[in-house]
Structure 1
Amino acid sequence: MSHSSGRSGPGWLPPPRAGLAVAPAAVTPVWPTPQSVVLPRPGGFPLPARVALVTGRGADRAAVGLVHAVLRAVGVEVLPEGRHADTVVHLGDDAPQDPTGRVLAELGVRGPEGLPAGGYVLATGTGGGGVRHLVLHGVDPAGAFYAAQSLRQLLGVGPDGRGPAVSDGTAGLPWIEIRDWPDVALRGTIEGFYGAPWSHRDRLDHLDFLGRTKQNAYVYSPKDDPYLRERWRDRYPEDWLGPLRALVERARANHVEFTYALSPGLTVCYSLPADLRALLDKFQVMWDLGVRSFAVPLDDVPIDRFPHEEDAPRFGAGEAALGLAQSHLLNEVKRAFIDTHPGAHPLQMVPTAYASVRDRPYKQALREHLDPGIVVEWTGEGVVAPLVSAEQARAAMATYGHQVLLWDNYPTNDYVTSRLLLGPYTGRDAGAARLLAGITANPMNQEAPSRIALFTSAGFGWNADAYDAEAALDAAVADLGGSAASALRVLVDNSRSCELSPTESPALTALVDAFWAGWDGAVDLGAAARDLDLYFQRMTRVPHGLAREPGLVAFVEQAGPWIGKLAAYGRAGRTAVRTLLAVRAGDRPHAEREARALGRQRRALDAIVQQVAVGVMDPFLDRVAKEAASAR
């Protein structure tokens, strides 16, 4: 594995090996951090105004379309097939008779053979006759798609397809060889939160986000779909099937595994053949829509009793009996459906006791009776686990006796609805990533703001050893914020504390501490007040800054109350600074006017239930009020 140590910022380029030169610093970084990057020669690989594009037979349509869009965004024309060009772009995967591997061999670059699913090679070089080659070769179609995403980033094309429109031959990338693959087989999200659901538009946009961040798993388990839980036996009405089919098709286009999660636990009779039949029929409907991955969540139900007394004579009583009954049902689902449908992915289940590594009779029953081919989902040590270590992952696999997929309840905010959780994914051990069957993060009720944290978790799932939480957060803000990245950074920094990390408002906290040091005479109060006031001004300008970025329309709509509260805190903060400066100057009338204004602002702030800068702004304003009152 070849990656930089001691990196600063979100960049991926490693320090040069002996005799190699680093590519220009202006190169847009690839994210997630690639596993291996080699810079074989100094200088750049310019793209001319026209190139040829050669694709393998049956090349992935999404990857081909993305390469066309990326080249078009940087002003490069793709010549019609058969036209000669001095620069050729090659896109291929593992399809039979794909010629891309021969081009890599000509360049002396090892191909993607042997890489895990989703792996790829991206390389530039010069072949026979002086023809320059840009090669994107995936170990499979998903790998080709991910190679195209890396090309997009290398050429500076944003997630919305906007890029520097260059047609004079100055667009380009370094002479480079990237050999890349994911650490975790399944990486993505589970829409499993309580409260306000996502819209259909949210889900479609989310699947696009997963694809471009090289995530490949989406578990459909929204609580607003009554046909998943309360009415799980009932067939979907026809008007539901169209939107579901659209989600499945969008997932497929983005190389995302759409998992349909049916939750019968509240009312199922485990010994009733008709209930098994209803579950199988529901899965068949989804199979016909194109779904190939299925889950049966059995969480959030009583563990010590059955929904129907008819199950007790067959399975017994207590939590071990529930584990036995669930094993019976799931084994039948695997035997009658998964095993009879070629192409079906392993069945997943969410146990009733889904947290902790502590053994108990229920888990023992799963360990002894559940088919070993079924994957068990686990949330770590607690519903929201502050830490997930390799030792814990190993213990969970032993306790359940199965492969374990981490259902990670971050950044979900259904238990703290007044907050946006925008901090980076942290507290997860790289060793755990190598043991887990997958990682699916449970997002917030607000889809667009969820992407900040999910962008970072994508980086961990792809390359856990190279993962740096702060660098990942920098990359997320730059990628998602676009022209409003600086404004977005202020909101993120003041909305980041959570169960995974207590860090909140790091920049603001330092400025507030400096201000109080100045107030106490330890440093220059005037300079500290100016610095703090400038930051408060930045807070007041966040709404305007975010509103100007076209790519943040959904974000602004969904995060609006928090954005507004941040700006209101900024205005109150400026008033607070003026209040104490007037006190220190001995200008009592001015100080009293500002103190009254601050009181009005605080009453307005108290009426906004959403929270930002938790534990930072309110204590600051409290002390300002106290200091002002004591000076009267």
Structure 2
Amino acid sequence: MKQILSSLLFAAVLSGMGGAYAQKNYEIYPVPQRQVVGSGLVSFSKSVTVVCEEAIDAATRRRAEQVLKEAGLDCTFAQEAPATGSVVYIGVNGSGGAADQRATTLALDRTSLTKAGKFDRHLLSLSDRDGSAEVVIVGENSDAAFFALASLEQMIEHGTDHLPKVKLYDYADQQSRGLVEGYYGYPYSVAVKKDLMRFMMRMKMNTYMYGAKSDVYHSQKWEAPYPATLTPQQVKNGLLTQDMIRDIAKTSQDTKVNFIWAIHPGNSFVGDANVVNRIMNKYSRMYELGVRQFAVFVDDVGVPKSEADCKTNADHLTALQAAIDKKWNNASASPEARVRPLHFVPQVYTLSWVGEADRKRFYNALSKTPDKITIYITGWGVWTVPNSNDLDVVRKELQRPAAWWWNYPCNDNADGQIYPSDMYYNFFEMPAVDNNAKMPKQLEHGLGIVSNPMQE
């Protein structure tokens, strides 16, 4: 478990929510893009009033309460700030609401909130309000404000008195940040899944893609419903019941780590004209269990090479996204009822598996699919270390950025060894990982990165 968390902590740093700051008064991970330390200290009153704008959702409100209470503070929600005592304002940029107005009054720099090509942009200010601490959080949306609370959590978890004033400005370079449970072997237990989500929430990660190869209801029995009961041995082996999925989905909603349930229809995705309806039937079952984001995996099956098959592959993906939007994303749907865009692991996820002409034909067809669908690669090889060059190749052929499925730590390619140390050391000591590849300081041309941390 420690190895998994260490891997994900590294992924959080790589995700782009990090940067240098002049004075290291607060040790926060991922390191904020910019930290401006002010003069003087502030302390929280025992009772803290939280003022949330209308756009701030229930999960973000619960998270604010959790952060404050775990720091030993009492929490009360109100429409307006009281005359005295500490206040936490939470809002959305440009809303005109209480937090947005307070940010204007304090002349907070909003440059990071509109920085192009960045994700989950937010700011946090800790200042003095007539002798008590005042926090102002403004995000580009409620999700971004939620991630700002991870910084506040780390600022006050060791004490709420005599804290340096500060302004934090943060965003992510990668849209999808987290893990994929997609290896061959026993899946994680429900307890581990939930623990990972809570850890990921603290690290501002947002993606838990589930497609365990040994889960038959993901692959071989992809149309069948999950069972209501399991034997003790099946539970030990990591299989899931419907109630377990409900439990995981609830934790996903609370942590804003999107539990993306993947279906693996195999060669039927291209070969069956009715496959979209068949997939939607299973998605509907999973939706009833609380799942609000889906993926399609068609890795390790036949690769479409003809123009017609490549087009069918892309057309089915487009039709599936359209079916999801029609069923769950109409104009009257509440935020809690809506389904986020698809993630797709294609047949050509490793660039070297087909010739250049076949690869270009394949990705050119996928370029016609909706831009909001996230498409994954593993780079030039199956275990390739993330790098900007491979992402740029796909970006040009796909005509949009792709995300990286990183098979690490995943020792299928060297199962006589385990990967016990940090990433850089393993690359140097274990050339089977990727020929002594070096981690880049920055990852460009990508839309996300998920680690596939196999239980070695």
TM-score by length of 2: 0.77
Output the amino acid matched with 2:284.
Q
Output the amino acid matched with 1:14.
Y
1:116-155 paired onto structure 2 within 5 Å: 116-126=118-128, 132-155=133-156
Q: With CA pairs under 8 Å and 6+ residues apart, which has the higher RCO, 1 or 2?
A: 2
Answer with 117-126 or 105-114: which moved more: 105-114
Match of 1:182 in 2: 172
Match of 1:389 in 2: 387
Are 1:225 and 2:215 matched, yes or no?
Answer: yes
In structure 2, do the counterparts of structure 1 residues 31 and 196 end up closer, same or farther at CA, with 3 Å as the change threshold? same
Is the 1:52–1:83 Cα contact (8 Å) retained in structure 2?
yes
Output the amino acid matched with 2:254.
A
Match of 1:485 in 2: none
* Partner Cα separation in structure 2 for residue 393 and residue 99 of structure 1: 41
Match of 2:86 in 1: 87
Runs of 5+ in structure 1 lacking a partner?
1-10, 16-21, 158-162, 165-169, 305-317, 447-632
Match of 1:439 in 2: 449
Which residue among 1, 14, 17 is the counterpart of 2:21?
14
- Give the C-alpha shift of residue 175 in structure 1: 1.2
More helix by share: 1
In structure 2, do the counterparts of structure 1 residues 223 and 126 end up closer, same or farther at CA, with 3 Å as the change threshold? same
Q: SS of the residue aligned with 1:59? A: coil
* Partner Cα separation in structure 2 for residue 337 and residue 132 of structure 1: 45
Match of 1:234 in 2: 224
Output the amino acid matched with 1:228.
H
Output the amino acid matched with 2:155.
L
1:44-193 paired onto structure 2 within 5 Å: 44-57=41-54, 59-78=56-75, 81=78, 84-93=83-92, 98-111=97-110, 113-114=113-114, 116-126=118-128, 132-155=133-156, 157=157, 163-164=158-159, 171-193=161-183
* Partner Cα separation in structure 2 for residue 45 and residue 416 of structure 1: 53
Is the 2:28–2:154 Cα contact (8 Å) retained in structure 1?
yes
Match of 1:326 in 2: 313
* Partner Cα separation in structure 1 for residue 340 and residue 271 of structure 2: 25
- Give the C-alpha shift of residue 211 in structure 1: 1.1
- Give the C-alpha shift of residue 96 in structure 1: 5.2
Is the 1:193–1:222 Cα contact (8 Å) retained in structure 2?
yes
- Give the C-alpha shift of residue 185 in structure 1: 1.0
* Partner Cα separation in structure 2 for residue 277 and residue 91 of structure 1: 41
- Give the C-alpha shift of residue 151 in structure 1: 1.0
- Give the C-alpha shift of residue 359 in structure 1: 4.4
In structure 2, do the counterparts of structure 1 residues 179 and 233 end up closer, same or farther at CA, with 3 Å as the change threshold? same
Match of 1:40 in 2: 38
Are 1:244 and 2:227 matched, yes or no?
Answer: no
Name the count of aligned residue pairs.
398
- Give the C-alpha shift of residue 421 in structure 1: 4.1
Q: SS of the residue aligned with 2:455? A: coil
1:299-318 paired onto structure 2 within 5 Å: 299-303=299-303
Is the 1:120–1:144 Cα contact (8 Å) retained in structure 2?
yes
* Partner Cα separation in structure 2 for residue 281 and residue 430 of structure 1: 44
In structure 2, do the counterparts of structure 1 residues 52 and 221 end up closer, same or farther at CA, with 3 Å as the change threshold? same
Is the 1:190–1:442 Cα contact (8 Å) retained in structure 2?
yes
Larger Rg: 1
In structure 2, do the counterparts of structure 1 residues 195 and 131 end up closer, same or farther at CA, with 3 Å as the change threshold? closer
* Partner Cα separation in structure 2 for residue 139 and residue 401 of structure 1: 26
* Partner Cα separation in structure 1 for residue 249 and residue 131 of structure 2: 44
* Partner Cα separation in structure 1 for residue 82 and residue 149 of structure 2: 22
In structure 2, do the counterparts of structure 1 residues 50 and 250 end up closer, same or farther at CA, with 3 Å as the change threshold? closer
Is the 1:296–1:349 Cα contact (8 Å) retained in structure 2?
yes
Match of 2:297 in 1: 297
Match of 1:365 in 2: 361
- Give the C-alpha shift of residue 117 in structure 1: 4.1
- Give the C-alpha shift of residue 85 in structure 1: 2.0
* Partner Cα separation in structure 2 for residue 295 and residue 237 of structure 1: 21
Are 1:348 and 2:359 matched, yes or no?
Answer: no
In structure 2, do the counterparts of structure 1 residues 412 and 437 end up closer, same or farther at CA, with 3 Å as the change threshold? same
Q: SS of the residue aligned with 1:228? A: coil
In structure 2, do the counterparts of structure 1 residues 45 and 441 end up closer, same or farther at CA, with 3 Å as the change threshold? same
Match of 1:408 in 2: 406
Is the 1:195–1:414 Cα contact (8 Å) retained in structure 2?
no
Q: SS of the residue aligned with 1:175? A: strand
Answer with 247-256 or 176-185: which moved more: 247-256
- Give the C-alpha shift of residue 375 in structure 1: 3.4
Query: Any idea what the Cα deviations from partners look like across 1:228-268, whole Å, max 9, x if unmatched?
Result: 111112233345322222222211211122222111115x2
* Partner Cα separation in structure 1 for residue 199 and residue 106 of structure 2: 33
| Aligned residues with identical type, % of pairs | 24
* Partner Cα separation in structure 1 for residue 84 and residue 76 of structure 2: 8
- Give the C-alpha shift of residue 132 in structure 1: 4.9
Is the 1:248–1:290 Cα contact (8 Å) retained in structure 2?
yes
1:190-229 paired onto structure 2 within 5 Å: 190-229=180-219
In structure 2, do the counterparts of structure 1 residues 341 and 393 end up closer, same or farther at CA, with 3 Å as the change threshold? same
Is the 1:409–1:442 Cα contact (8 Å) retained in structure 2?
yes
Match of 1:591 in 2: none
In structure 2, do the counterparts of structure 1 residues 368 and 114 end up closer, same or farther at CA, with 3 Å as the change threshold? closer
TM-score by length of 1: 0.57
Is the 2:50–2:87 Cα contact (8 Å) retained in structure 1?
yes
Output the amino acid matched with 1:294.
F
In structure 2, do the counterparts of structure 1 residues 87 and 274 end up closer, same or farther at CA, with 3 Å as the change threshold? closer
Match of 1:611 in 2: none
Q: SS of the residue aligned with 1:179? A: strand
* Partner Cα separation in structure 1 for residue 299 and residue 393 of structure 2: 20
Query: Any idea what the Cα deviations from partners look like across 1:57-78, whole Å, max 9, x if unmatched?
Result: 3634343334334333444344
* Partner Cα separation in structure 2 for residue 79 and residue 303 of structure 1: 57
In structure 2, do the counterparts of structure 1 residues 218 and 79 end up closer, same or farther at CA, with 3 Å as the change threshold? closer
In structure 2, do the counterparts of structure 1 residues 424 and 142 end up closer, same or farther at CA, with 3 Å as the change threshold? farther
In structure 2, do the counterparts of structure 1 residues 272 and 354 end up closer, same or farther at CA, with 3 Å as the change threshold? closer
Output the amino acid matched with 1:193.
Y
* Partner Cα separation in structure 1 for residue 125 and residue 170 of structure 2: 11
* Partner Cα separation in structure 1 for residue 393 and residue 269 of structure 2: 31
More strand by share: 2
* Partner Cα separation in structure 1 for residue 361 and residue 225 of structure 2: 32
1:494-509 paired onto structure 2 within 5 Å: none
* Partner Cα separation in structure 2 for residue 186 and residue 253 of structure 1: 18
- Give the C-alpha shift of residue 51 in structure 1: 3.6
Match of 1:287 in 2: 287
In structure 2, do the counterparts of structure 1 residues 51 and 249 end up closer, same or farther at CA, with 3 Å as the change threshold? closer
